[in-house]
Amino acid sequence: MAERMNSVEERGWLASGPMSEDEKRRAEALRLGVPFVTLGRDDISLASLVLIPEPLSRTANIIAYSRGEEGIEVALLDLADLPLIDFLRQSHRVQVRLTDRGSIKQALLLYQKHLKEKFAGMVQGGKEAAESLLKHALHSGAHYVHIEPSHAEAAGTVVRYRIEGALREALRLPEGASRYIVERIKSLAKLFPVSTAVQEGSFNFMHDGREVGVAVTAVPTVRGERLVMRLSHDTESVTGFSLSSLGLHGQALEQVQTALHKQQGAVVVAGMGGSGKTTLLYTMLDHITGASRSVATVEDEVEYRLPRAHQTMTRPDLGLGTAATLRAVLRQDPDTVMVSDLHEAGAASLAFAAAERGAFVLGGLEARSAAGALDILTTECEVTGGLLEKSVKLVVSVLLIRRLGPGASKRPLARAEGELLESKVRFSKVLAALKEEGVVHEHTAWKDIQFYTATGEESYRGYAGIQETLEVATGLEGLSLLEDALFKAVQGLVSIEEVVEMAAE
């Protein structure tokens, strides 16, 4: 330790007294062998800066400042925050640098100036204000845009983006600009300008040569109208996710991949609203679409646009519910069919009969577990047991729980936690999965397992998926939802507190 401090002093970084935060970062950079950079305005490239969404750069103090043949140079204050830019590291070679607060502040000021210039019309209420806001949201990597009245003590209207599962404030608009934007969006979505009821609508617009779907919900509140938009990016990789990035692993991942590879029978994805069910269905469909297959969907609402699929929305107002729409779609001889909701009377039986005849069917169902999905299919959906066993190959149940951010610590299970979980979890099955996938050593005993723990609300960033699988014909089960959550608390994806809370429900 003394030797390390002397090396710092020899470089003149310690004049007297305790080290400043920036001096500590210099010392840490030296110790780790990570370059330390001090950036001036001329060192920062706007083309690089915008590769990381501004809200993320601002809240996490991470900036991309240069781009060259060696990759993108990224500067940050804390290396523990690197996982926040995994999305960038998946598509680019990233060179990591530590920096000081002054450099980060300089870059963020430049970023803010760029945004104000680029989206000046948004603040001034110009003709393209709403379109500018949507482009800004897409540019920031947002999938949801919230436009909501501020609290009484705050001026203007708050615009927040949901990026990577987390909701972050992106802009604050003056009253006149926000009123114009809301009116324009409601007009595009064919909603009434003024209404005391909840309204829903949608529209499409072109951005960078691709079509983007915008689903709009307007809800009156005591402070004024709140508008939420869901942006459906029409990209080559439709959802931006892979099966593993959604949380599937081990036996469950292998079962899903096998089912998608064989493309026989039906796979049912079960989950409640906001569970990630629709995203998993689209990700599965994205894995199997190709020029040699005819792919069709029957959806209550098209959330992602698939370039190689024929997507049809139900119209209950015209008497075209799921079953009627599916019957019409099946007459066109599709190889693969995705049905977003099997619950309507007759829809599941129709879909599974098509699967028995040779079509590959992906279906969504609102249910809390894989076993619960089978109960609903046989009771509420009135699917006969014989048809179910012949056609449905796999049921996957999904749920989202809060994801742990970097820097979390570990601890053993408390006695009370162990007693609560023991009656609901097969510890031996979880331990076997942890060993099989190399998360813990093969000789580790359950009593020695350490679980990641949260230090507070600030420990959580976004959401993680947990899943369970059930093969209908064999009755083979993977980890249950609770067991998968426990597995991921050992991995560090979720906290043991979230698992215990889930078990107590």
In the numeric block, which tokens belong to residue 245? 């990035």
Q: Which of 104-118, 370-384, 408-422 has the lowest mean pLDDT?
A: 104-118
What rounded mean pLDDT belongs to the chain? 83
With 70 as the cut, is the pLDDT of residue 152 above it? no
The reported pLDDT for the residue numbered 126 is 45
The reported pLDDT for the residue numbered 161 is 82
Q: How far is the C-alpha of 483 from the C-alpha of 489, rounded, in Å?
A: 10
Q: How far is the C-alpha of 79 from the C-alpha of 82, rounded, in Å?
A: 6
Residue pLDDT, tens place only, 42-75: 888 887 887 787 777 887 889 999 887 778 899 9
Q: Strands 360-365 and 266-270: what pairing?
A: parallel
In the chain, what percentage of residues exceed pLDDT 70? 87
With 90 as the cut, is the pLDDT of residue 183 above it? no
Q: Mean of the pLDDT values across residues 203-216?
A: 77
* CATH 3.30.450.90, the chain: domain bounds: 125-233
Which CATH number does the domain 20-112 belong to among 1.10.3470, 3.30.300, 3.40.390, 3.30.70? 3.30.300
The reported pLDDT for the residue numbered 236 is 39
Residue pLDDT, tens place only, 95-146: 899 999 999 998 888 887 776 666 555 545 445 678 878 887 887 777 788 8
Residue pLDDT, tens place only, 292-327: 678 899 998 887 777 778 889 888 888 889 999 999
Q: How far is the C-alpha of 34 from the C-alpha of 36, rounded, in Å?
A: 6
CATH code, residues 250-504: 3.40.50.300
In the β-sheet with 62-68, what is the strand arrangement from edge to edge?
A: 36-37, 94-99, 71-76, 62-68
Per-residue pLDDT band for 395 (boundaries 50, 70, 90) equals very high
The kind and range of the H/E element at 100 are none
The reported pLDDT for the residue numbered 351 is 94
The reported pLDDT for the residue numbered 11 is 46
In the chain, what percentage of residues exceed pLDDT 90? 33
pTM metric for this prediction: 0.59
With 50 as the cut, is the pLDDT of residue 15 above it? no
With 70 as the cut, is the pLDDT of residue 231 above it? yes
Q: Which of 26-30, 61-65, 94-98, 333-337 has the lowest mean pLDDT?
A: 26-30
Burial class (CB in 10 A: 0-12, 13-18, 19+), 149: middle
Residue pLDDT, tens place only, 479-503: 999 999 999 999 989 999 999 999 9
Q: How far is the C-alpha of 158 from the C-alpha of 146, rounded, in Å?
A: 8
The reported pLDDT for the residue numbered 128 is 66
Q: Mean of the pLDDT values across residues 216-228?
A: 81
Per-residue pLDDT band for 445 (boundaries 50, 70, 90) equals very high
Per-residue pLDDT band for 461 (boundaries 50, 70, 90) equals confident
Residue pLDDT, tens place only, 244-282: 888 898 899 989 988 988 888 999 999 998 899 998 999
The reported pLDDT for the residue numbered 480 is 95
Q: How far is the C-alpha of 201 from the C-alpha of 191, rounded, in Å?
A: 6
Q: Which of 11-25, 330-344, 399-413, 442-456 has the lowest mean pLDDT?
A: 11-25
Contact between residue 457 and residue 230 where contact means Cβ atoms under 8 Å apart: no
CATH code, residues 125-233: 3.30.450.90
Q: How far is the C-alpha of 3 from the C-alpha of 5, rounded, in Å?
A: 6
- Higher-pLDDT residue of 364 and 188 is 364
Q: How far is the C-alpha of 64 from the C-alpha of 105, rounded, in Å?
A: 13
Q: How far is the C-alpha of 99 from the C-alpha of 80, rounded, in Å?
A: 14
With 70 as the cut, is the pLDDT of residue 176 above it? no
The reported pLDDT for the residue numbered 288 is 78
With 80 as the cut, is the pLDDT of residue 12 above it? no
The reported pLDDT for the residue numbered 45 is 85
* CATH 3.30.300, the chain: domain bounds: 20-112
Give the best-scoring range by mean pLDDT among 230-244, 364-378, 434-448.
364-378
